[in-house]
Structure 1
Amino acid sequence: MTETGNTDPAFSIRRMTPGDVELALEWAAAEGWNPGRHDARCFFAADPQGFFIGEQGGEPVGCVSAVAYGDGFGFIGLYIVKPEFRGKGLGMRLWEAGMAYLGDRNIGLDGVVAQQANYRRSGFRLAYRNIRFEGTAQGSAGGGVPPGIVELPAVPFGQLVDYDSLMFSAPRPAFLRAWCDHPGAVARAAMKDGGLRGYGVLRPCRSGYKIGPLFADDSATAAALHDALVAAVPGETVFLDVPEVNAAAVALAVGRDMKSVFETARMYTGEPPRVPVERVYGVTTFELG
């Protein structure tokens, strides 16, 4: 689609193909965002209509993701313009395209804290900060798995979707199916009396591994899941993105000698979704929420 109101006829915006999402993640890696090695397929599955790429004279120069989770919620991410094309207003045109697609949904984002003022001008309000922690995985490959911790594929998919829908802002079955089948990922669940008490996914990134999501009913369950995940990659660098308002999640990271290395501002255009943040010990991704 050609961008409405664009004063440069050589600039146009269209929806991404799966290959374009791969390119966008290469740009994200160049920005130091350390995306997962196999994120593109999973991201695209979340909403194939929600990824936009801008081209200048046919050359891809910028992108934004605007993933719609049903009719009520959306999330903005992957907002990038190549350095040599910045300062020309192209990023704003991409932003407008993504926001127009999401319409009157409540929209969330994880933005750089320094850009909060700009996001406020677009109608976003701060909910809380997310903190990225970095550490070294403890444990040994092939070590014992705590009682009640099972491989995630052992959980009926419908049960997983129901649990995830309580922890996230909207149901996301298409994304979950792809995310839990992530190549090279480790995925674990905590079960008790046939009920799901929490789950987590650890995936390979350009550097080290990221845990996300890490959802759990209580801190003991979160700790057991975390330790079962990192035991699969002993000695590797691991990252965990934690809502600062969840003191138990911060304590889990600090208690495992993880250090704060980055933070984002979680912002919404509407009221923060009624998500039990006290049970969110690790954000799924900063790009998709």
Structure 2
Amino acid sequence: MDTLVIRTMTRAEVDFAVDMAAHEGWNPGLYDAECFHAADPDGFFIALVDDAPVGCVSAVQYGGVFGFLGFYVLLPAHRGKGYGLQLCTVAIDRLKRLQVPIIAADGVLAMLPKYEAYGFTRAYGNIRHEGPAGGTAPGDPRLRPLREVDPQALLALDAAHFGAWREAFLRCWTNPAHGEGLAWVEDGRLTGYGVVRPCVRGWKIGPLFAPHPEAAEALYLGLRALACGGPVYLDTPVPNAAALALAARHGMRPVFETARIHLGPPQILPLERIYGVTSFELG
């Protein structure tokens, strides 16, 4: 009889989770594992049967105020055996033990009935858009390299959009290997930023936080211009009509959808300023 063991991942095993996401077609970044693990080293779980990895899930907590589930996937040969329920239970129990008041996830639509059975409710949808990379960055002086901005100002801006502080994660994410970040500085204040990074296929922009459509347009064009070959992807919250309009205006097409779901109270986020989600895996 198969024996299932679920335990915390090592850093090297987070690569397995990213590989699982890639095989599911979720198109993770090539160097995401390092930043993901930095966010919460105790928040990644691997399922093993007879010492062989068969599945994974993450339950990352941010400062005790927000928890996010991701990487919930099993190898096809091990589905339908109850392993998924055990994985999800371990993840949720971890966040409940930490007394995290808000638990969320970006669930693929096919899995929503399972999430609803666990008690999750749907808040809104997200659409992944695909479009051409390259082009010319705007010559707007308000658009600046992200490395030039004050780190504390960046942390505060990010927390206002994400709903929690994530210092260890941002330290890694905003200095991506082979990627780049741009800032929007208006009247001497940092009010928006974005990051572009290489993925299994093409490049992904995320996050893209902007105070208004003009800033979002400049950040998007600047980041797109930094993408070298392949398509570029942007994950947009459906309630942000300006984000959907930006994607359509630049010839992007919808290729994938998720739903932001919550266990317990929903997050109150400034969706009108969120043009691109950071990551479907970690929020």
Give the 5 Å matches for 1:1-289.
Answer: 10-103=3-96, 104-105=99-100, 106-140=102-136, 145-233=139-227, 236-289=230-283
* More displaced stretch, 244-253 vs 83-92: 83-92
Is contact 2:201-2:230 (8 Å) kept? no
Gaps of 5+ in 2: none
- Between the aligned partners of 2:140 and 2:247, the Cα distance in structure 1 is 19
- Between the aligned partners of 1:92 and 1:145, the Cα distance in structure 2 is 51
Partner of 1:3: none
- Between the aligned partners of 1:238 and 1:34, the Cα distance in structure 2 is 11
TM-score of the two chains, using structure 2 as the length reference: 0.96
Q: What's the secondary structure of 1:129's corresponding residue?
A: strand
- Between the aligned partners of 1:256 and 1:270, the Cα distance in structure 2 is 37
**CA apart distance, 1:120:** 1.5
**CA apart distance, 1:10:** 2.0
Identity %: 48
1:214-255 per-position Cα deviation (integer Å, ceiling 9, x unaligned): 000001000000001111226530000000000000000000
1:55-95 per-position Cα deviation (integer Å, ceiling 9, x unaligned): 11111111000001122210000011111111111111111
Is contact 2:138-2:221 (8 Å) kept? no
Q: What's the secondary structure of 1:231's corresponding residue?
A: helix
1:112-143 per-position Cα deviation (integer Å, ceiling 9, x unaligned): 12322221121111110000000002414xx5
Q: What's the secondary structure of 2:226's corresponding residue?
A: coil
Q: What's the secondary structure of 2:266's corresponding residue?
A: coil
In structure 2, relative to structure 1, the CA distance for the partners of 1:132 and 1:144 (3 Å cut) is closer
In structure 2, relative to structure 1, the CA distance for the partners of 1:130 and 1:144 (3 Å cut) is closer
Q: Give the letter aligned to residue 52 of structure 1.
A: F
Gaps of 5+ in 1: 1-7
TM-score of the two chains, using structure 1 as the length reference: 0.94
- Between the aligned partners of 1:23 and 1:234, the Cα distance in structure 2 is 26
RMSD after superposition: 1.3
Q: Give the letter aligned to residue 67 of structure 2.
A: G
- Between the aligned partners of 2:174 and 2:69, the Cα distance in structure 1 is 22
Is contact 2:71-2:281 (8 Å) kept? yes
Is contact 1:188-1:199 (8 Å) kept? yes
Q: How many residues align?
A: 280
Partner of 1:5: none
Is contact 1:130-1:242 (8 Å) kept? yes
Q: What's the secondary structure of 1:170's corresponding residue?
A: coil
Is contact 1:62-1:81 (8 Å) kept? yes
Partner of 1:4: none
Is contact 1:145-1:228 (8 Å) kept? no
- Between the aligned partners of 1:31 and 1:215, the Cα distance in structure 2 is 27
